[in-house]
């Protein structure tokens, strides 16, 4: 049994807890302390983990009802590493922590890939320390403040400060630094509202805090990889066959994450600033990567750690339901109410095929995977229309005054397929009008042209036409009315319109539209070409072309399209080009 043991605080590290115990009990040496707590004088306790916790929990049990699972999950950084390790790696690490089988100070990550800077000294939040000293009479080391990559306190929105207490274990010569004696009374540095990447820094803290509160979160690397691929497709950074647009992704990385933040946390490898570290998450899983890589990628793809880990292990190729109903006559049209979705694979095994069934009876099929979020509002074919759609089609089809175009617009299918559905529903099929609306004034003949309107309409149109023909000049509205009447009479009273005299045209004023005097223009352009100086680029030993001379003259729009009408200009151009040919 261990004599009076202090009650651990919320989010306190095991290191801080033992430091407070050692100060209270005044152990003469670190060896006797380790022998007393862990049964071995050579046990190492770092700011991340403590090894041999099983022995420690057994001796602690008479004093405090804390199991070894509670100690690992609530007072070490194991919960933030476990989700990003292979399940077998996580179990091995947990076994090491509980049994004390090795003296590893870091989780079993590949050293070549662990390119995140680990803080050399313990860190603290000045505001948190001030509140704890007021509330408890002492402050302590927080787990969240020691997570690599966390630089701010999201609760108070201030920067974390470093102390003189080292984070690395020094074995038997290590002195447990008490936060109450080590943390100075310092002014906090507020996180500016204009700090680059401010929201990113705060969200990193929220995600890390959420992970620390998940005691049994273990995910296979293949599931993480599939979730990343799914989010990349949703963000338009990958094709639905798995090809990642590396250029777009690197541009997103450098636009979203400040370069200064990447430089502070990448160590000496340069994998974060170059983007190679985050891109390594998209390859086939072969080992663990630092949690900061995953947290940055999760934010980069527009989600949070909580939402990311609550996604299904294998995201659907058709998104996450409910899906919209695409029955055009249903009151819930395009509303996400469909919860039934059955997915099959094409016979050749190439692409998935989903069948969506709504409670209204409408069933539609879509071949996937979806090309984007808007793909859910389309379908490849309709498997079943349902009683609601069939009932409305029967009512519309039974109304003889309605045209095929009107029925087509109401039920949402093409005109050419209406007769097929009528036959399917065993309805009589007859010739029906083709038009926008079936009104008495718009009856059509078998040739598809309107019949001649009533005599009153013809008389009114003829009278208006005769009136307009005697008005000169016409205003803009009168010209538009004349054009409309002409087309109407041409269609409905063609013989009468042709027999009418045309409205006299307004004679043009003399000189208002004269022809071009090409002889005069030819002489003017010759004068321009002869008097213009040659540019340096056109003189010397450089060859002169006709096109260069025309562009230099400034009258290209007059010369080039009309060179066949300007013989003197053409001759002048040839003479200048010939006289300035470079000598061999």
pLDDT tens across 483-511, in order? 888 888 888 888 888 888 765 555 554 54
Average pLDDT, the chain: 79
What is residue 221's predicted lDDT score, i.e. its pLDDT? 76
Higher per-residue pLDDT: 46 or 563: 563
Asked whether the predicted pLDDT for residue 479 surpasses 60, the reply is: yes
In whole angstroms, give the CA distance from residue 33 to residue 18.
9
pLDDT in tens, 202-250: 999 999 999 999 877 777 777 888 888 888 877 878 776 677 888 888 8
DSSP letter string over 544-555? P-HHHHHHHHT-
User: Omega into 161 within 30° of 0, i.e. cis?
Assistant: no
444 phi and psi angles, rounded to 5 deg: -120, 155
What is residue 210's predicted lDDT score, i.e. its pLDDT? 92
Helix (H, G, I), strand (E, B) or coil at 26: coil
CA–CA distance from 463 to each of 458, 459, 482 (Å)? 9, 6, 12
Q: How confident is the model at residue 313 (pLDDT cuts 50, 70, 90)?
A: low
Least trusted range by pLDDT, from 149-158, 277-286, 329-338: 277-286
What is the C-alpha radius of gyration for the chain, rounded to an integer number of angstroms?
A: 42
Which percentage of the chain shows pLDDT scores above 90? 16
In whole angstroms, give the CA distance from residue 387 to residue 385.
7
CB distance 549 to 529 below 8 Å = yes
DSSP letter string over 373-427? GGGGG--SEEEE-HHHHHHHHHHHHT-TTS-HHHHHHHHTS-GGGHHHHHHHTT-
525 CB burial (10 A radius; 0-12, 13-18, 19+): buried
| Sign of the dihedral defined by the CA atoms of residues 501, 506, 511, 517, in that order | negative
Among 280, 218, 295, which Cα is nearest to 249's? Answer: 280
What is residue 222's predicted lDDT score, i.e. its pLDDT? 77
What is residue 169's predicted lDDT score, i.e. its pLDDT? 54
68 phi and psi angles, rounded to 5 deg: -65, -30
What is residue 579's predicted lDDT score, i.e. its pLDDT? 79
In whole angstroms, give the CA distance from residue 174 to residue 30.
7
Show me where the domains of the chain are located.
Answer: 1-315, 316-432, 518-579
CB distance 168 to 175 below 8 Å = no
Asked whether the predicted pLDDT for residue 451 surpasses 70, the reply is: no
In whole angstroms, give the CA distance from residue 17 to residue 5.
9
DSSP letter string over 485-534? HHHHHHHH-HHHHHHSPPPPPPPPPTTSSPPP-HHHHHHHHHHHHHHSPP
In whole angstroms, give the CA distance from residue 460 to residue 479.
18
Least trusted range by pLDDT, from 128-137, 168-177, 439-448: 439-448
What is residue 51's predicted lDDT score, i.e. its pLDDT? 67
What is residue 25's predicted lDDT score, i.e. its pLDDT? 77
Q: Are strands 340-345 and 161-166 parallel, antiparallel or unpaired?
A: unpaired
460 CB burial (10 A radius; 0-12, 13-18, 19+): exposed
Exposure of 574 in the CB half-sphere (CA atoms within 13 A): 7
Angle at 206 between CA 205 and CA 208, to 5 degrees: 65
What is residue 109's predicted lDDT score, i.e. its pLDDT? 45
Helix (H, G, I), strand (E, B) or coil at 17: helix
What is residue 456's predicted lDDT score, i.e. its pLDDT? 66
Long-range contacts of the stretch 535-541 (C-beta < 8 A, 24+) = 538/580, 539/580, 541/582
- Among 307-321, 379-393, 430-444, the range with the most confident prediction by mean pLDDT is 379-393
What is residue 200's predicted lDDT score, i.e. its pLDDT? 92
- Rounded to 10 deg, the angle between the 68-75 and 53-60 helix axes is 110
Asked whether the predicted pLDDT for residue 10 surpasses 80, the reply is: yes
Long-range contacts of the stretch 247-251 (C-beta < 8 A, 24+) = 249/275, 249/278, 249/279, 250/275, 250/279
Interval 131-145 mean pLDDT? 92
- Rounded to 10 deg, the angle between the 386-397 and 404-411 helix axes is 160
CB distance 49 to 14 below 8 Å = yes
What is residue 358's predicted lDDT score, i.e. its pLDDT? 92
Interval 560-575 mean pLDDT? 90
pLDDT in tens, 56-66: 777 777 677 77
In whole angstroms, give the CA distance from residue 375 to residue 352.
14
In whole angstroms, give the CA distance from residue 229 to residue 538.
58
- Among 101-105, 131-135, 310-314, the range with the most confident prediction by mean pLDDT is 131-135
Q: How confident is the model at residue 261 (pLDDT cuts 50, 70, 90)?
A: confident
pLDDT in tens, 141-193: 998 998 988 999 999 999 999 988 887 654 444 678 888 888 888 888 999 88
pLDDT in tens, 363-386: 999 987 777 778 888 899 999 999
Higher per-residue pLDDT: 286 or 112: 286
Query: Which helix (H) or strand (E) is 163 found in, with range?
Result: strand 161-166
What is residue 97's predicted lDDT score, i.e. its pLDDT? 74
Give buried/exposed letters for 538-575 (b at 16+ CB in 10 A, else e).
beeeeebeeebbbebbebeebbeeeeeebeebbebbee
Q: How confident is the model at residue 113 (pLDDT cuts 50, 70, 90)?
A: very low
């Amino acid at each position: 049994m261990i004599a009076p043991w202090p009650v651990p605080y919320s989010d306190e590290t095991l290191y801080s807890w033992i430091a407070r115990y050692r100060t209270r009990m005044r152990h003469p040496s670190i060896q006797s302390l380790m022998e007393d707590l862990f049964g071995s004088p050579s046990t190492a306790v770092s700011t991340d983990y403590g090894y041999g916790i099983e022995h420690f929990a057994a001796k602690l049990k008479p004093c405090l009802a804390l199991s070894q699972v509670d100690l690992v999950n609530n007072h070490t950084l194991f919960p933030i590493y476990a989700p990003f390790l292979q399940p077998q790696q996580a179990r091995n690490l947990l076994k090491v922590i509980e049994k004390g089988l090795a003296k590893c100070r870091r989780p079993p990550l590949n050293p070549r890939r662990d390119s995140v800077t680990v803080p050399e000294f313990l860190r603290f939040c000045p505001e948190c320390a001030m509140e704890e000293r007021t509330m408890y009479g002492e402050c302590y080391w927080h787990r969240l403040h020691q997570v690599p990559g966390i630089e701010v306190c999201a609760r108070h929105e201030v920067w974390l400060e470093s102390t003189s207490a080292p984070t690395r274990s020094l074995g038997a010569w290590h002195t447990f630094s008490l936060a109450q004696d080590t943390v100075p009374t310092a002014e906090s540095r507020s996180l500016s509202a204009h700090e680059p990447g401010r929201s990113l820094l705060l969200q990193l803290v929220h995600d890390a805090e959420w992970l620390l509160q998940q005691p049994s979160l273990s995910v296979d690397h293949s599931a993480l990889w599939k979730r990343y691929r799914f989010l990349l497709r949703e963000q338009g950074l990958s094709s639905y066959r798995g090809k990642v647009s590396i250029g777009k992704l690197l541009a997103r990385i450098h636009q979203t994450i400040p370069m200064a933040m990447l430089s502070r946390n990448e160590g000496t490898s340069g994998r974060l600033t170059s983007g190679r570290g985050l891109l390594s998450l998209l390859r086939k899983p072969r080992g663990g990567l630092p949690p900061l890589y995953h947290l940055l990628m999760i934010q980069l793809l527009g989600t949070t750690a909580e939402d990311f880990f609550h996604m299904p292990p294998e995201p659907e190729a058709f998104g996450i339901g409910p899906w919209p109903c695409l029955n055009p006559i249903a009151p819930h049209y395009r509303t996400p109410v469909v919860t039934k979705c059955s997915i099959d694979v094409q016979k050749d095994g190439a692409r998935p095929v989903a069948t969506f069934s709504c409670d209204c009876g409408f069933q539609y099929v879509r071949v996937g995977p979806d090309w984007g979020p808007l793909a859910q509002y389309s379908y490849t074919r309709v498997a079943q229309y349902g009683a609601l759609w069939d009932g409305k089609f029967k009512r519309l089809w039974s109304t003889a005054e309605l045209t095929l175009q009107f029925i087509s617009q109401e039920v949402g299918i093409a005109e050419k397929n209406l007769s097929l559905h009528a036959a399917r529903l065993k309805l009589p099929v007859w010739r029906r009008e083709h038009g926008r609306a079936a009104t008495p004034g718009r009856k059509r003949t078998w040739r598809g042209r309107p019949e001649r309107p009533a005599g009153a309409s013809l008389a009114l149109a003829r009278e208006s036409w005769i009136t307009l023909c005697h008005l000169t000049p016409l205003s803009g509205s009168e010209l538009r009315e004349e054009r409309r009447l002409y087309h109407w009479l041409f269609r409905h009273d063609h013989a009468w319109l042709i027999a009418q005299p045309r409205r006299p045209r307004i004679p043009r004023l003399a000189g208002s539209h004269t022809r071009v005097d090409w002889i005069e223009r030819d002489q003017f352009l010759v004068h321009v070409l002869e008097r213009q100086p040659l540019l340096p680029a056109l003189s010397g030993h450089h060859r002169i072309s006709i096109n260069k001379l025309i562009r230099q003259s400034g009258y290209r729009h007059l010369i080039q399209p009309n060179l066949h009408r300007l013989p003197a200009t053409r001759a002048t151009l040839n003479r200048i080009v010939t006289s300035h040919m470079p000598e061999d």
